Structure 1
């Protein structure tokens, strides 16, 4: 027995048991899915490995922090934390307020203590908080996430002509019969917190959104509501937008021999030849063209006789008279 133990120790010393560096070399070429499956298998068999995986995964808060948008203007940080504490222990949570007005900006952040709590919250990103459907995703993703998929335009609907009494909860319950809703809410005024008469709903599938549009029964709160794609008012014709405030006008052919305004006449456009000559004057039908009148005779220079100035009885020189500024004054000799 002692010889067997001694032999095993000698084999371990000779490197028959893989070292840490040798294990790294074996794991390095493996793909990520293979490593994840391997660690998950080991973690399920050995609790110590599972605990180590949890500690490493939760070490970076970027994997535990959620961005929550679509909050009501009166939702507080305490209300936000209370809505998410069912998923696990919360390390930090707060609603973001505007520094100038002191009002909520409609979003906040939740940081869980453990990463598995964050994953549980992400399984159901939509959460009804104080009558509003709030949506969460990892904060490191920003506004990207489920709503950034390419088919968002086929899943997001505009709901118009809503009664002031219709709440977000009523709207989501009414449209939820067509399929699972990812997010949605009635639009409220920031100052009065009253309904603005419209809202938005985003389904998880394009099929559910189409069912909501095609449904002939669209009466909610005693009104016939409008249900259409949120971007249906955008320009989908593919025509380029007008530039410089100019309205395109159809080209109207001008008479031969005349230049078209606004066109460059370099080259020869189709249907036109530049330069074009004007047809001769039809003298046979209309007689001789009128001749220009003879020029007026040119008047030669006009000479004026000298002006004589009478002697003043008092002996004073004569004062200049109006209108005589162009002629010299003649003073009689004393």
Structure 2
């Protein structure tokens, strides 16, 4: 009889526990993520057992253990990448990403640690010199929206131009390291030939260090005077845009009164009284006045009287010279 009572009591207790869990779930379900995070963080700080359970669940999720590494050299392999990050803890998986078509490195990779604490340790020192280039890591779930895309990045990232082909990324970092701590930087190399393209980029951790590098009067590296400026100013050069032909409206060139355009009727076009000296037959009067000019968009010029010129006759009745037209050009008569 007593065993039966005990079983009934246990069953009732289990039913009560199930009903309590369901009730709690129904209460927690409508809550926002920020409210749940705040609630669990307070419970975890009060009860160590809850804190341990939260850590265990978080550590089993790769989102807290997987790192995205960018800025890798073209010749960096997966083995080299893992060797650089192994100092922080045991690596579960690590690989450089290669282009499927060309088989060449795409300049980035991923490292997944076995324990969450190892990933946090690596994030404490995100910049690492690998194969002569400064690589940077952040949580893979953040992608490119990590620490390097902070609002002040435009004031910390510098463009370095005019580099000698012999300057390596390591030399570049050593040279600019005198102004402050560098977060990221490298010489730009050609993907196919792996040769320097004559420029590079350096990102400082502080705006002050970037300003020092720009204001430094001695900008000579490997015997060459180099260009140092903010990367955004180099990227934002003005580009000349072509206006589409459809948007161009043809406009007629204005002409002075007295010179009508060919193929168009200009009944109001009246000669403005321009005068040109040329051999002509004698006029009855010594001078003539131009007719009054009609109102026009251009101010009319004052009239100039023509001087009377006596025409010399050749004994045979042929003009001594070819008649000259306007501005000294001869008339041509069609055959």
Q: 1:306 is matched with which residue? A: none
Q: 1:158, 1:227 within 8 Å by CA — same for their partners in 2? A: yes
Taking structure 2 as the reference length, the TM-score comes to 0.62
Q: Choose from 279, 283, 291 the match for 2:270.
A: 279
Q: Which residue number corresponds to residue 127 of structure 2?
A: 126
Q: Aligned to 2:232, what secondary structure does the other structure show?
A: coil
Quote the Cα distance in structure 1 between the aligned partners of 2:110 and 2:272.
87
**Taking structure 1 as reference, are residues 26 and 176 closer, same or farther at Cα in structure 2, changes over 3 Å only?**
same
State the partner residue of 2:281: none
Q: Please give the residue correspondences for 1:154-173 in structure 2 after superposition, counting only pairs within 5 Å.
A: 154-173=155-174
Name the CA distance, whole Å, in 1 between partners of 2:183 and 2:166.
23
RMSD: 3.9
Which whole-Å CA distance do the structure 2 matches of 1:187 and 1:170 have between them?
13
- Residue 304 of structure 1 is matched in structure 2 by none
Give the count of matched residue pairs: 252
Point out the more displaced range, 31-40 or 82-91.
31-40
**1:244 corresponding residue in structure 2:** 244
Give 2:7's aligned residue. Answer: none
Shift of 1:255: 5.1
Alpha-carbon distance change, 284 to 182 in structure 1, aligned in 2, over 3 angstroms? same
Aligned residue in 1 for 2:143 = 142
Post-superposition CA distance 1:267-296 (Å, at most 9, x none): xxxxxxxx9943368685399xxxxxxxxx
1:38 corresponds to which of 31, 42, 48: 42
What SS class does the counterpart of residue 233 from structure 1 fall into? helix
Q: How does 1:88-127 map to 2 (within 5 A)?
A: 88-127=89-128
Q: How does 1:154-193 map to 2 (within 5 A)?
A: 154-193=155-194
Structure whose alpha-carbon radius of gyration is higher: 1
Cα distance change of structure 1 residues 198 and 240 upon mapping to structure 2, 3 Å threshold = closer
TM-score (norm 1): 0.62
| Structure 1 stretches lacking a partner, 5+ long | 1-12, 262-274, 288-334
| Superposition deviation, residue 218 in structure 1 | 1.7
How far residue 136 of structure 1 moved from its aligned partner, in angstroms, is: 1.3
Alpha carbons 1:187, 1:198 under 8 Å: kept: yes
Listed one character per residue, the Cα deviations across residues 114-173 of structure 1 (whole Å, up to 9, x for unaligned) are 222222222222111111101112222222212222332222111122233322122112
Work out whether residues 181 and 202 of structure 1, in 8 Å CA contact, stay in contact via their aligned partners in 2: yes
Distance 1:36 1:165 in 2: 56
Q: Match of 2:42, SS?
A: helix
Secondary structure of the 1:231 match is helix
Name the CA shift for 1:87/1:23 in 2 (closer, same or farther; >3 Å): farther
Unaligned runs of 5+ in 2: 1-12, 274-287, 291-304, 307-335
- How far, CA to CA, are the matches of 2:44 and 2:256 in structure 1? 85
2:213 and 2:139 map into 1 onto residues whose CA distance is: 29
Q: Which stretch of the first structure deviates more once superposed, 20-29 or 75-84?
A: 20-29
1:301-329 deviations in whole A, cap 9, x for unaligned?
xxxxxxxxxxxxxxxxxxxxxxxxxxxxx
* 1: CA distance, partners of 2:44 / 2:268: 91
Q: SS at 1:71's partner residue?
A: coil
Matches within 5 A, 1:1-334: 31=35, 34-35=38-39, 37-39=41-43, 41-42=45-46, 46=48, 48-235=49-236, 241-244=241-244, 254=254, 277-279=268-270, 284-285=289-290
Q: Report the Cα offset of residue 236 of structure 1.
A: 6.8
Report the Cα distance in structure 1 between the residues aligned to 2:165 and 2:205, rounded to whole angstroms.
27
Q: Distance in 2 between matches of 1:232 and 1:245?
A: 31
